[in-house]
Structures are given as C-alpha cells and as structure tokens.
Amino acid sequence: MGTSNIDTAFTNSVAQLYESQLVPLIFEPYALDMARRVATAGPQRVLEIAAGTGVVTRHLAVMLDSASEIVATDLNTAMLDEAARIGTARPVEWRQADAMQLPFENDTFDAVCCQFGVMFFPDKTNAFAEARRVLRPGGVFVFSAWDTIETSEFAAAVTAGCATVFPQDPPRFLARTPHGYTDPQRIVQDLAAAGFTTPPAIEKIAFTSRAVSARIPAVAYCHGTPLRGEIEARDPAGLERATQAAHEEVARRFGEGPIEGLIQALMVTAAR
C-alpha cells in the first residue's frame, strides 16, 4: 500500500477507535468551537466535508436553527457508518462524497465546514474551489488544521516512541499528514488560487488535552488513525510493540497519569 493510501485508510476498526479514543482526547473542544462559528453565521443549509464520525455534526444538530438542513459527508464509508450509528439530536443527511468532486449544484449551501480534513486532501486548491463552488454568495467556509506536531505534545511523543521501534524507517504519518499543513501563508495562497478573493481570518487556537493514563494517547494514535497501517506495513505483528513504545515515551514525558498536554490548531474562516 502506498503512503497516500495508508494516510487515508480509515477502516471499520479504526473508525470505532477514532470515535472512542481520539474524539474525547483531541477533537471535542475544536468541534464545539467550529460548530459555534458556523452557527453564528445563521445558515439555513450547511455542508460538512470530511465529517468523520460526526463530532462536529452532533454539535451542529443542536446549535443550528431547527429549520436548517445539515448534509454531512466523508470519503470513507466506515467513518460515516460509525457517525450514523451514534446518531444526532435531529435528522442529518449522511452522504459519501469526495471533497475533490462534490456531488452538489453550484450555490447551494450557506456554510461549508471541515474539521481536520483538509490536511488529507491530495489537491487542496481543488478541494477549496469545490467548497467555494457550492457556497452561495456571502457564504462562509470554516475549516481547521493542526499546527506543527511540536504543538500537539501527545502526538509528538507517540511519534518519537514509534521511531524507537523502527529507527531505520520511522513511521511519520502524524507529522507528515495531520500536522503537515501548518503554514498560514500557504493556506492564504491556496484559498486565493481557489477563487476566494477576501483574505481569510486565521486564528491559532490552543486547548489542553487530558487523559487518565499514558496508555490512552498511545492507543488512540497507534490504533485509531492511519498510523496503524503505517506500523503494520513495516511489521504486520508490530502494532502492540509500537503502542507500548509510544506508551513508554508518553509516560516518560508526562508521567503515567492522569496527564495533560498542549494541542494547537489553525482555525480558518473564508467568505465567498
């Protein structure tokens, strides 16, 4: 399996662990923040792309006007299946869709949002152009991307721990992809190339990530992200060995638990 395929391989087991481990560890506070930003715009029709297991969707379903429509999409059906299984406070349309080629007419949404998905897009300018195309004039595109891996302390520790198991070819998924789109100037340029004529607002937002033990971040990242595929590509039987090494490195830096670590992301708002 090539690197690009590994980086987007969210299988059923990964989706379940993503929801149970990563959502409370790192995604929940940003989901609440994003839903509030979208709700402030008062949209009547919202498109979410790369919705994952629906953490933002669930907040939108509560915060938005009851008459509004929410369409939540993801490339990976395993993630959508998990989102649909959990459910939302009111009906949401779940739909498999590729951000590179959205199956919607022009000018059909008041807001488009994407939490921590843009880093996975193979052609970010094209994806941004698609988001702009389906937005109505005056609509907003809100998305988030992780800052550098050093500003997400548990992810950095897990990456360092895994490197001790595979020193000749360390798994770099977390640094390469989730934490690989960190330059605000590049984001501005990509949005401009996609047709957004007004400079976006870009904020750095930091939260504290908490876990009851050092084992939690190790399992969350090694089992609940495509890092798992990268580890198993190096050693089909190496997942637990890498997880244990990640656990030990997290414990070395933060203690066995309860533990706290910094997480930081860029929150971007672009108006059509």
Give yes or no for residue 62 having a pLDDT over 60. Answer: yes
> Tens of pLDDT along 88-108?
999 999 999 999 999 999 999
**C-alpha span between 85 and 29 (Å, rounded):** 22
The answer to whether 179 and 147 have CB atoms below 8 angstroms apart is yes
Cis peptide leading into residue 258 (ω within 30°): yes
> How much of the chain, in percent, has pLDDT values that exceed 70?
96
Contacts of 66 (CB under 8 A, 6+ apart): 90
The answer to whether 104 and 233 have CB atoms below 8 angstroms apart is no
Strands of 147-222, DSSP E: 201-211
pTM for this entry: 0.93
pLDDT at 14: 78
Q: Domains, the chain, ranges and CATH? A: 3-271 (3.40.50.150)
Instruction: Give the residue among 128, 114, 244, 116 at the shortest CA–CA distance from 174.
Output: 116
Q: Is the dihedral of CA 57, 62, 63, 65 positive or negative?
A: positive
Give yes or no for residue 29 having a pLDDT over 50. Answer: yes
Compute the average pLDDT of residues 137-142: 97
> How much of the chain, in percent, has pLDDT values that exceed 90?
92
Quick one: three-class SS letters along 35-77? HHHHHHCCCCEEEECCCCCCHHHHHHHHHCCCCCEEEEEECCH
